[in-house]
Chain A
Amino acid sequence: MMQTVTKSACESCEHSNASGLKKLGINIDNSDFVVALAGNPNTGKSTVFNALTGLRQHTGNWPGKTVTRAEGGYSFGDKKYKLVDLPGTYSLLSTSQDEEVARNFILFGKPDVTVIVVDASRLERNLNLVLQILEITDKAVLCLNLMDEAKRMEIEIDDRTLARDLGIPVIPTSARSKEGIQQLISTIHQVATGEIICKPHRIKNVPKQINNAIEKLCTEIEKEYPNIPNSRWIALRLLDGDERIIEAVKTGEFITE
């Protein structure tokens, strides 16, 4: 596909990581890592996707633009990355079809890194989804997108504090003007290769009785499947009576996939 990136002074500098970036468009064979792009509707996931892959997936300013998952690729350093753009969702707790695409992919597709794209000007609302995703996976990067818009609305965000609270790297970006995309790429690389180890936030404000139940079920699940990374999430969903997850436990889908 076409590459029409305007190179800033930093990007063309030999010390920059940008030299290692190659946009692969739809060429996604033999990828080393799978990266999922998740986030609320209308936070610019497709724009981030296009910036990384060089593809021109159409973006629109309305929630629900992407209803299927789109895939593309890029390579960085000597690794090839497959990028999956998921439909935007507000939550992983409900059951509409587009939300299920996102949830099932994060849970069963086992991406190596999940990039959570959030709207910096509406951070608090977006964090609900972030916290749910962090229950599922511990390899995640927060892409604090639409920083330009937040700035216009005179909202400031202390990304270091945010990163410490969430326990994952936080990268401020303005994907429309490609700001921050370089840092995002190298951070994804570091998380994928294990250079950065995440210690994701777990939901704290739940009543003791419920917490005990979660922990009890968790231990049970881990006893049966010692290698499962997201036993806590499965426990949460089982306690909520999620049919799809009950089915998955019955068939043992977690271990086979």
Chain B
Amino acid sequence: MKNNKILNISNDLRWQIGDGFHDKLTEGIYSDAAQIAQNSVFKKGQTKRFRFDRSLDKIVTSKIWGFPIMILILSVVLWLTIIGANYPSGLLSELLLDTIQPWLKETSLSIGFPIWLAGFLFDGVYLALAWVIAVMLPPMAIFFPLFTLLEDFGYLPRAAFNLDNLFKKAGAHGKQALTMSMGFGCNAAGVVATRIIDSPRERLIAIITNNFSLCNGRWPTQILIASIFIGALAPQSLSGALSTLSVISIALLGVFFTFVVSYFLSKTVLKGEVSSFTLELPPYRPPIFWKTIYTSLIDRTLIVLWRACVFAAPAGAVIWLISNVTFGDTTIAHWLIENLNGFGFILGLNGVILVAYIVAIPANEIVIPTILMLTVMSVSISGVGEGNGVMFELDSVSATGEILKAGGWTLLTAVNLMVFSLLHNPCSTTIYTIYKETKSIKWTVIASVLPLIMGFVVCFVVAQVWRILL
């Protein structure tokens, strides 16, 4: 009871003081701060450095140049990633897949492993791991440090500043630009980053739409498919540029959907006022180059890679099992593909892709290897692969293309796969993170199912239009 006495007195006093308490207190703090600062801070006039920051800000946040510069920076980062990752990826796959894998399998068989165990371990689990490392490590080791350098330099808040107006028009919070950028690295990280948004309504919008930022698990899929099918449309010298362009289009399509869905949500289920906020543009700081490279490798690249491996190993096992366990006279994988082929065709995709996306719910990174393995199995191409349920990486991009074309792939399949890779349910880690952050099953389900439905709709429309026009 004695506690209530304090509260009662405080209530009485609040009546006596009247409304202005908060403002007067804030005023008091400000004038104290000004006084103290006056006593101990000495400025020698305006400085060059400040002027440099300001003139750079005038350019990168200008109405005319702001957006082109943003897209240019994104293009350069992606282009460097696509060009730079090619060679080390090839080296890694040669080492891990062409040299070590056969050796492991032969050795294990020669020391008396049963065939099914050797198959399960080295054609399933090991190959999944090796593939994820070969295909993911190089692009991540380039993309993340570049992104971190931009972050340390101080560019992100400027990008947020540019996008603020668009987010406001969409009824969302301007800081969503920051969480969206984080999503380009990893959606789970992007969802956690939404804590910087105060209003619960706007935070939910940011969480639900974060999946429209292409995450690093999906960049390699985009890059590979773009190189095989879209890059091939142009002459050799331009194919890198054309693939980069198509990947950027998909990324920008994602940004576009972020705005559309934010707008839709804020006009329907998540109605409310747009809250205002102040965004401080921090000074530009020259990044400490090597330290940034080191921390981004340790903190981001290796941690994300580790996560991918943790999910890839059991997925490899599952793939091997569903393609080797028979069910009547066909394998489980075959049965699934047959049954999903019809639905896949309507979407301009195929059964293999849909099965791959089911297997790959834990991690988007393993979509491509799963697709390749299932394609080889379902069309029984002779001379490639080593048996049912063997995930493999082919020596060259063009050989991978041959396999897919033999599996009935067309340019439409490729385009729709890129669209579907952008628009489908988040990976299981992100779903779990959304649940942890929202503590609501309803919003978690919405955030997971909404993009999937959108993916179906967009793919369907693209497929119909394509088939009518071409």
Q: Give chain A's interface residues, CB within 8 Å of chain B.
A: 41-42, 56, 58-64, 67-68, 93-98, 121, 123-125, 127-128, 130-132, 149, 152-159, 161-162, 165-166, 176, 201, 203-207, 209-210, 213, 216-217, 220-221, 224, 235-236, 238-241, 246, 249-250, 252
A131 touches B32 (CB 8 A): yes
Q: How many angstroms from the CA of A221 to the CA of B9 in the assembled complex?
A: 10
Q: Given contacts A58-B296, A97-B198, is CB(A210)–CB(B280) below 8 Å?
A: no
With contacts A62-B282, A96-B198, A210-B24 known, is A157 near B33, CB below 8 A?
Answer: no
Q: Does B59 contact A (CB under 8 A)?
A: no
| Cα separation A202 to B14 with both chains bound (whole Å) | 21
Q: How far is the CA of A239 from the CA of B43 in the complex (A)?
A: 38
Query: Chain B, 21-38, contact with A by CB distance < 8 Å: what is the 0/1 string?
Result: 110111111111111110
- In the bound complex, CA of A56 to CA of B287 (Å): 15
Residues on A with C-beta less than 8 A from B29 are 128, 131-132, 203, 205
Interchain nearest-CB distance for B126 vs A (Å) = 30
Q: Is the CB of B26 within 8 A of A93?
A: yes
* Contact in complex: A123, B6 (CB < 8 Å): no
Task: List A contacts of B152 (CB < 8 A).
Answer: 59-61
From B4, B13, B24, B295, contact of A206 by CB (8 A):
B24
Q: List 28 A-B contacts (CB under 8 A).
A: A56-B295, A56-B299, A58-B148, A58-B296, A62-B178, A64-B175, A67-B192, A93-B26, A96-B198, A98-B196, A123-B41, A124-B33, A127-B33, A131-B33, A153-B49, A154-B45, A157-B40, A158-B40, A176-B288, A203-B29, A216-B13, A217-B9, A220-B5, A224-B2, A239-B13, A239-B21, A240-B21, A250-B3
How far is B123's CA from A178's CA once the two chains are assembled, in angstroms? 50
Q: Which residues from chain B contact A249 at a C-beta distance below 8 Å?
A: 3, 6-7
A56–B290 Cα gap in the complex (Å)? 14
Residue of B nearest to A156 (CB): B42
**Which of B128-136, B153-161, B374-382, B383-391 is found at the contact surface with chain A?**
B153-161
Nearest CB on B from A167, distance (A): 11
Is the CB–CB distance between A217 and B10 below 8 Å? yes
B17 within 8 A of partner (CB)? yes
- Known contacts: A56-B298, A62-B151, A207-B24. The answer to whether A42 contacts B7 by CB under 8 A is no
Q: Which of B284-307 contact A (CB under 8 A)?
A: 284-285, 287-288, 294-296, 298-300
Binary flags per residue of B249-293, CB closer than 8 Å to A gives 1, else 0: 000000000000000000000000000000110111101100000
Which B residues lie within 8 Å of A149 (CB)? 283, 285
Q: Are B2 and A41 in contact (CB under 8 A)?
A: no
Place the interface of chain B in its size category. 35 or more
**Dominant SS among interface residues on chain B:** helix
18 additional contacts (CB under 8 A) given A59-B152, A157-B40, A162-B40: A64-B193, A96-B196, A121-B283, A123-B40, A124-B34, A127-B36, A153-B50, A155-B44, A157-B42, A162-B39, A165-B39, A203-B32, A205-B29, A206-B28, A210-B25, A224-B2, A236-B25, A238-B7
List of B residues within 8 angstroms of A239 by Cβ = 10, 13-14, 17, 21
A58 touches which one: B3, B195, B299 (CB < 8 A)?
B299
Which of A61, A95, A128, A162 lies in contact with B151, CB distance below 8 A? Answer: A61
The 5 closest A-B pairs by CB, nearest first: A96-B198, A127-B33, A124-B37, A64-B196, A238-B10
* B17–A241 CB distance below 8 A: no
A127-B28 in contact (CB<8A): no
Which of B2, B31, B37, B295 has its CB near the most chain A CB atoms (within 10 A)?
A: B37
- Report which of A68, A124, A176 forms a contact with B41, defined as CB distance below 8 A: A124
Is A63 touching B13 in the complex (CB atoms < 8 A)? Answer: no
Q: How far is it, in angstroms, between the C-alpha of A110 and the C-alpha of B51 when the chains are bound?
A: 43
**Interface: B55 (CB within 8 A):** no
User: Contacts of A96 on B, CB cut-off 8 Å?
Assistant: 196-198
* CB atoms of A203 and B6 under 8 A apart: no
Query: Is residue B47 within 8 Å, beta carbon to beta carbon, of the partner chain?
Result: yes
Contact of B283 with A204 in the complex, beta carbons under 8 Å? no
Residues in B neighbouring A132, C-beta threshold 8 A: 29
**Which residue from chain B places its CB closest to the CB of A95 in the assembled complex?**
B198
User: Which of A94, A154, A158, A213 is B13 in contact with, Cβ under 8 Å?
Assistant: A213
User: In this assembly, does B396 line the interface, its C-beta being within 8 Å of a C-beta of chain A?
Assistant: no
Is B16's CB within 8 Å of the partner chain A? Answer: yes
A93 to B50, CA, bound (A): 30
By the criterion CB–CB under 8 Å, are A128 and B30 in contact? yes
Give the residue of B17, B27, B32 whose beta carbon is less than 8 angstroms from that of A213: B17
A58 and B6 contacting across the interface, CB-CB below 8 Å: no
Minimum CB–CB distance from B97 to chain A (whole Å) comes to 32
A56-B299, A67-B192 are known contacts. Are A158 and B42 too (CB-CB below 8 A)? yes
A61 CA to B149 CA, complexed, in Å: 10
Q: How far is the CA of A130 from the CA of B33 in the complex (A)?
A: 9
Contact with A along B96-111 (1 / 0, CB 8 A): 0000000000000000
Across-interface contacts of A155 in B (CB, < 8 A): 41-44
Q: Are A217 and B37 in contact (CB under 8 A)?
A: no
Partner of B6, one of A41, A125, A159, A217: A217
Given A62-B157, A63-B279, A205-B32, is A154 in contact with B21 using a C-beta cutoff of 8 Å? Answer: no
